[in-house]
Structure 1
Amino acid sequence: MKALDRVADFVIWAIVRLLMLVKKDWYEKNRSRVEEWRLTLYALNRTPTGIIGLVLSLGFVITGIVGPYVAPYSYNDFLYLERPELYLVPPGEYGMLLGTDIYGRDVFSLMLYGARVSLIISVVTIAFGVPLGILLGLIAGYYGGKVDEVIMRITDMFLAFPALVLALALAATLPERIREFLISNPDFATFMAFIFGVSPEDAIHLAPLISIFTALIVVWWPVYARVVRGMVLVEREKTYVEAAKALGYSTWRIMTRHILPNIMSPIVVLITFDFATVNLLAAGLSFLGLGAQPPIVDWGSLINMGGSRFPTAWWLVYFPGVAIFLTALGWNLLGDALRDVFDPKFRRRIEFRV
């Protein structure tokens, strides 16, 4: 525990020093916030499931970041063309750690590239969908009245459709338009190729993946809008909000500097769980043929490839399936631990122990 606490202190102080480079007196004005961060990490260090979840989640993130750079082979190394004996090689043969696919590509390398694809889809979906939902929820809950009615009715329209069905519809109709956009905007196509860790020549094949996270963003924000709106309705009646109004603070400052920090704990927990959900949903869409298209690959498309050849090519199903399972398990364990850590009663027991 003490070793983990030292790691937590190192991470926190590294963040503080970076913030102090921007604003020298940041620490003096946010000393209590820094202590709150330390207590949060100390509490997380004392939850075994949280540690397991954090290790699995960090492993997924690190693999997604460095995977394409450390892969033994590129995703477009079709070794079968030069060496026909590498067609569907089982794990361990011919020096292939996890075997090869139908094109003779190294499955271990494809797993690393697939981690980058899953990470980008998760991060982009959460980074764009969640802030949109939070903003609309803040506005609806704080203003109420007609503003609340309009935003919530629009939210209800999106929630009326099952998320998977709506995502399927959008992911099936968007790729052609996105492909045309990539062709007409080569700079954007090159940027997306860099983000996904593929060659610029294959950027046009990213259209299905871009359509997936676009579809997920569309179906993701309504849940956050409704959850945030409910919490804001409670918070706006509290004394500190009335005091901020009496001091003449602007509406935007009250919503973002006073109300939002007090409702962030449940939102952070929900975001953690949603990283697992986005991974599962994106893999499901790829498994159905709406995701990565050759030569680009992700975990769901690998399972799709191996499904028709199972159990002969069992490794094409087993290894991506294990990766998806461990990733989802890690985020769920981490989210469950954070939910306990943010609970005041649990935190109080941890503080006494520390």
Structure 2
Amino acid sequence: MSRVLTTSTQLPDYAVDRQSAGARVLRVLRKDRLALFGALLIVLVLAAAIFGPWIAPFPEQGAGVTDAARRNLAPGGVNLLGTDQLGRDVLSRILFGARPAVTVAFAVVALAALIGVPLGAIAGYRGGWLDNLLMRITEIFQAFPPLLLAMVVVALLGPSLMNAGIALAISWWPWYARLVRAEAAALRDRPYVEAARSIGVPAWIIVPRHVLRNCLTPILVQATVDIGTVVLAAGSLAFIGLGAQPPEPDWGLMVAEGRGAIFTHWWISTFPGVAIFVTVLGFNLLGDSLRDLLDPRQVKR
């Protein structure tokens, strides 16, 4: 019994060293300029999402107020990024569009993780017929490209920003289930998990305490990268008319509204597209740096 108790107290092979987490953050940001650049981009996007309605030059245009006398003005002067076909300030609408873009992205990733992570953990830990059943269901969803599946779901539910978020979550959860399933299958035979089982600890305690805790690193990395990808996917749905609807200030919708005049009034579509690009780039760079930050098996920089 003493040997069992001693084994059960061993730390997992890649448990995060909490005492050195702060030092690791500073080391990564100091030596990895791309990580620092990605973090700054994320701060910029989040600041726009939080404070956009208060710092927008024309706050009334967030609700779709138009000004026909100022249609298609080039960037400069009062309108730093120009105006669109309805005289709305492009910069103001980009700032207003940051909040729904970020909110939907975080909500989609959270909902997908809430569905996929428990299913993957149960499948990987239990194995057998339950694992086969859950993975076959997962493969059915993965048989369709995520954006195509989301388009089908939105077409059934009706075009709106909320329905687009639901559709994206439905198409995103299988990737978390497969990711966690693989990690849980590798962890279930580790000594500290076997020790917990040998002293009678039930599965409903082992899975969250010993399995899910050690899946946090890949989950966090995947979720960080997915936030940017979901922003792009939500913008794509809005671009084809299946996401946010006019007059909502949505980046993808703004790109779609200006595509017909891209050669004469390029700023209408270009600047919202840049906002999407900056968001995706920032979260991808941040996700890559999180992998180095949270996994102590990586070579120290």
TM-score exceeds 0.5? yes
Which has the higher relative contact order, 1 or 2, with Cα contacts under 8 A spaced 6 or more apart?
2
- The residue aligned with 1:309 is 261
Correspondence for 2:130: 147
Name the structure 1 match of 2:4.
Answer: none
Amino acid at match of 2:47: I
Q: Counterpart amino acid of 1:85?
A: A
CA contact 1:44–1:338 (8 Å) conserved in 2: no
Letter in 2 for 1:37: A
Structural mapping, 1:4-83, within 5 Å: 34-45=18-29, 46-72=31-57, 73-74=59-60, 75-80=62-67
Offset, 1:346: 4.0
1:114 partner amino acid = G
Letter in structure 1 aligned against 2:45: F
CA RMSD of aligned residues (A): 1.7
Q: For 1:137, give the aligned amino acid.
A: G
Report what 2:183 is aligned to. Answer: 231
Amino acid at match of 1:284: S
Amino acid at match of 2:98: A
**Of 86, 89, 96, the match for 2:70:** 86
Whether contact under 8 Å (1:125, 1:216) holds in the other structure is yes
Task: Number of aligned residue pairs: give it.
Answer: 283
Partners of 1:68 and 1:116 within 8 A in 2 = no
Matched AA of 1:239: P
For the structure 1 residues 323 and 78, does the alpha-carbon distance in structure 2 shift closer, same or farther, using more than 3 Å as the test? same
What is the rounded CA distance, in whole Å, between the counterparts of 2:264 and 2:198 in structure 1? 72
Q: Distance in 2 between matches of 1:165 and 1:310?
A: 26
Match of 1:106 in 2: 89
Summarize deviations over 1:61-82 as a string: whole Å, max 9, x none.
Answer: 22112212332322135342xx
Superposed CA deviations along residues 197-218 of structure 1, whole A, max 9, x for unmatched, are xxxxxxxxxx600011000010
Structure 2: give runs of 5+ residues left out of the alignment: 1-15
Aligned mates of 1:261, 1:41 — CA distance in 2: 20
Confirm or deny that 1:278 pairs with 2:230: yes
Instruction: Return the offset for 1:285.
Output: 0.9
- Contact 1:76–1:105 (Cα < 8 Å) also in 2: no
Measured in 1, the distance between the counterparts of 2:208 and 2:21 equals: 19
Give 4+ residue runs of structure 1 displaced > 4 Å after superposition. none
Contact kept? 2:35, 2:286, Cα under 8 Å:
yes
For the 8 Å contact 1:141–1:232, the answer to whether it is kept is: yes
Q: How does 1:197-212 map to 2 (within 5 A)?
A: 208-212=160-164
Tell me the distance in 2 between the aligned counterparts of 1:90 and 1:76: 22
Task: Say which SS state the counterpart of residue 201 (structure 2) adopts.
Answer: coil
Structure 1's 335 and 246: CA in aligned 2 closer, same or farther, altered over 3 A? same
Q: Output the CA distance in 2 between the equivalents of 1:160 and 1:135.
A: 21
User: Could you tell me which amino acid in structure 1 is paired with residue 63 of structure 2?
Assistant: N
TM-score by length of structure 2 reads 0.89
Deviation at 1:299, TM superposition (A): 0.6
Shift of 1:121: 1.0
Secondary structure of the structure 2 residue equivalent to 1:240? helix
Query: Structure 1 length as normaliser, TM-score?
Result: 0.76
Tell me, what secondary structure is at the counterpart of 1:308? helix
Q: Which of 256, 261, 265 is residue 213 of structure 2 equivalent to?
A: 261
- Cα deviation, residue 42, structure 1: 2.6
Paired residues for 1:127-142 under 5 Å: 127-142=110-125
TM-aligned CA deviation for residue 268 of structure 1:
1.2
1:338 counterpart (290, 294, 298)? 290
Partner of 1:344: helix, strand, or coil? Answer: coil
- Between the aligned partners of 1:345 and 1:119, the Cα distance in structure 2 is 31
Please tell me whether the aligned partners of residues 167 and 212 of structure 1 are also in contact (alpha carbons under 8 angstroms). Answer: yes
Secondary structure of 1:294's aligned partner: coil
Matching residue of 2:98: 115
Q: Deviations over 1:95-142 (max 9, x none)?
A: 112111122111111001111111011011011111211110001111
On the 8 A contact 1:92/1:98 being kept in 2, the answer is yes
SS at match of 2:87: coil
Contact 2:38 2:282 in 1 (8 A): yes
Distance 1:250 1:121 in 2: 37
Q: Percent identity?
A: 41
Q: SS of the counterpart of 1:318?
A: helix
* CA-to-aligned-CA distance 1:14-51 (integer Å, 9 cap, x gap): xxxxxxxxxxxxxxxxxx96414324313322321111
When residues 149 and 345 of structure 1 are mapped into structure 2, their CA distance, relative to the original with a 3 A threshold, is closer
Deviations 1:306-328 (A, max 9, x none): 10111222111111111111111
CA deviation after TM superposition for structure 1 residue 337, in Å: 1.6
Please list the CA deviations of residues 287-343 of structure 1 after superposition, one character each: whole Å capped at 9, or x if unmatched: 111122111121111110110111222111111111111111111111112223344
User: 2-side partners of 1:229 and 1:268: how far apart?
Assistant: 15
1:236-247 alignment runs, 5 A limit: 236-247=188-199
